[in-house]
Structure 1
Amino acid sequence: MQDKVRDKTFDSYSTNNYKVRPFDNLSIKLNSFEQSTTGEFNSSGALGSRPGGVDNALLYLSGYMVNQAGNIRLPLIGDIKVVDLTVDEIKDLIDLKLEEYLKFPSVSVKLTNFRVSVLGEVNRPGMQYIYEGKVTLLQALSQAGDLTDFGNRKNIKLIRETKEKTISTYIDITKPDLISSEYYFLMPNDVLYIEPLKAKASNVNTRVVGVALSVISVVITTVNLIVTINNK
């Protein structure tokens, strides 16, 4: 009798659960009927872009930096404490503060410094900027061009900095229960390192030995040729 496959649904982690920290950068855009105030408010917090994509430097410079005390300074409102709040909580807080000055204000808040690094045995290693608000481990690997032939899919190292400590763990992406892992959805500043398989070391060693043998063979042939010429 064929076993029944049971579908499972897991609560997804998203960056909406990420607590803002000092030196994070936020894009905050105000929508309101009072256009003059909206323009002033958005002048320093609007998204920066250029033809062909987002300009990460402009995006960073035009955002609101969370200072060491955990505050950002906004037009009309002034300093507001945002550290240890999610982007949704920050949005609600700013909406509430703006009601003292504007009619029907509505703001959107995004974390602009959400980036992850993918290193090691992938085809396109490097840093990835995330604009969709969340990214899974598999999506990050896909963006990096997937693992090389020598990438170890059963031993991917993830390094994550939390408020209290730095976590280092290993993940097997071949396991079906990967999507239920707390590490399936990545967090800002996560680092993935894909270790090489032992087969790569063996392959490298084999090539080194092959090159060495070729060099020795050439040397021996040359020596034999010289000896033969001298004996004539």
Structure 2
Amino acid sequence: MMKGKTLFVISAFVLFSCKTNPKAHNDLNYMQNIEQVAIEASAKNSNNTIQVGDQLVILVTAKDMDVVKPFNQNYSSSEIVQTNALAGGNTPNQGMVSVSGPTYIVDSKGDVDFPILGKINTTDKTLVEFKNEVRDRMTKFVINPTVSVRLVNFKVTVLGEVNRQGDYTIANGQATIMNALGLAGDLTMYGKRDNVLVIRTENGQVTHGKINLQDANFINSPYYNLRQGDAIIVSANNTKDLTAKQNPNTALYLTGISIAVTAVAVVISLFKK
């Protein structure tokens, strides 16, 4: 009788040690209340303005390409800027996007020194607004010019409990926090989904915001649409903290106990025979 009680106690210990927490599984789900959330994200949050240090590829075309050559100085059609749209530094050459055209760097005053037209200020302008200004100025020299402006160094950083930490370059200059986390291979099971930190530096000002991925209302946050240079930091949850504090041999102990329970059960069954 005593052996039977001992076997029961040991078995119960092993079972409770391996028991999963249903709530923990629910904590891994994103946007749990999406059906109750009104999407109100404003267009202005998704329209990034050009920042100092941005690398712009500006290409001018027209029916007669000889006419626009002066506006594409020092440029050959063989020149190509490659940006990685789908992966960071640890997975090179995946999803490479080629962008062709002369490259300009926005200086410390927010200016772009453009051939013939001179300095054009980009402060507080989106890519579309800047493109329209360049095109309007060019109409004095060219009939029906076409201007293409691409931002090729839109970079965000993802750190912490994700599967692929690193810097990620977005080819089209537009990305949401979900895009960035997708590029980073999603959060690990240890990532804290209700407290993702976004650090932003814009026009010399550093701000930060926290995102709860479990609450679909984060779609309306000003940090949902990312800006140039944003850093996303995913903290570890309590499970990771507990795992880090546990004895690394715990799993071995539990395995040993499980084997011992099985052995005791076999011995008891033999004695009963």
The TM-score bracket by the shorter chain reads: 0.7 to 0.9
Q: Which has the higher contact order (CA 8 A, sep 6+)?
A: 2
From the CA coordinates, give the structure whose radius of gyration is larger.
Answer: 2
Q: Secondary structure at the match of 1:149?
A: coil
Aligned residues: 205
Match among 60, 70, 75 for residue 30 of structure 1 = 60
In structure 2, what is the Cα distance between the partners aligned to 1:125 and 1:82?
A: 32
In structure 2, what is the Cα distance between the partners aligned to 1:122 and 1:116?
A: 14
Please tell me whether the aligned partners of residues 73 and 115 of structure 2 are also in contact (alpha carbons under 8 angstroms): no
In structure 2, what is the Cα distance between the partners aligned to 1:93 and 1:40?
A: 18
Q: Secondary structure at the match of 1:88?
A: helix
Match among 150, 161, 164 for residue 190 of structure 2 = 150
Deviations 1:2-44 (A, max 9, x none): xxx6673434547873222222211111121221243453465
Query: Cα gap change, 1:118/1:44 in structure 2, threshold over 3 Å: closer, same or farther?
Result: farther
Q: Which of 147-156 and 34-43 deviates more?
A: 34-43
Give 1:69's aligned amino acid: K
Which residue number corresponds to residue 48 of structure 1?
Answer: 81
Which residue number corresponds to residue 171 of structure 1?
Answer: 211
In structure 1, what is the Cα distance between the partners aligned to 2:211 and 2:157?
A: 16
Which residue number corresponds to residue 189 of structure 1?
Answer: 229
Deviations 1:61-118 (A, max 9, x none): 9521111222212222122222222111111111111111111112011222211111
Q: Which of 46-55 and 59-68 deviates more?
A: 46-55
Q: Secondary structure at the match of 2:158?
A: strand
In structure 2, what is the Cα distance between the partners aligned to 1:44 and 1:70?
A: 22
Deviations 1:148-196 (A, max 9, x none): 1111101111101122521122211100212111111111111000000
Q: Secondary structure at the match of 2:247?
A: helix
Tell me whether 1:141 sits opposite 2:181 in the alignment. Answer: yes
Please tell me whether the aligned partners of residues 30 and 38 of structure 1 are also in contact (alpha carbons under 8 angstroms): yes
Identity of matched residues, %: 28
Superposition TM-score, scaled by structure 1 size: 0.77
Please tell me whether the aligned partners of residues 58 and 101 of structure 2 are also in contact (alpha carbons under 8 angstroms): no
In structure 1, what is the Cα distance between the partners aligned to 2:44 and 2:164?
A: 24
Query: Cα gap change, 1:80/1:16 in structure 2, threshold over 3 Å: closer, same or farther?
Result: farther
Give 2:81's aligned amino acid: G
Q: Please, which runs of 5 or more residues in structure 2 have no aligned partner?
A: 1-34, 84-92, 254-273
CA RMSD of aligned residues (A): 2.9
Q: Please, which runs of 5 or more residues in structure 1 have no aligned partner?
A: 214-232
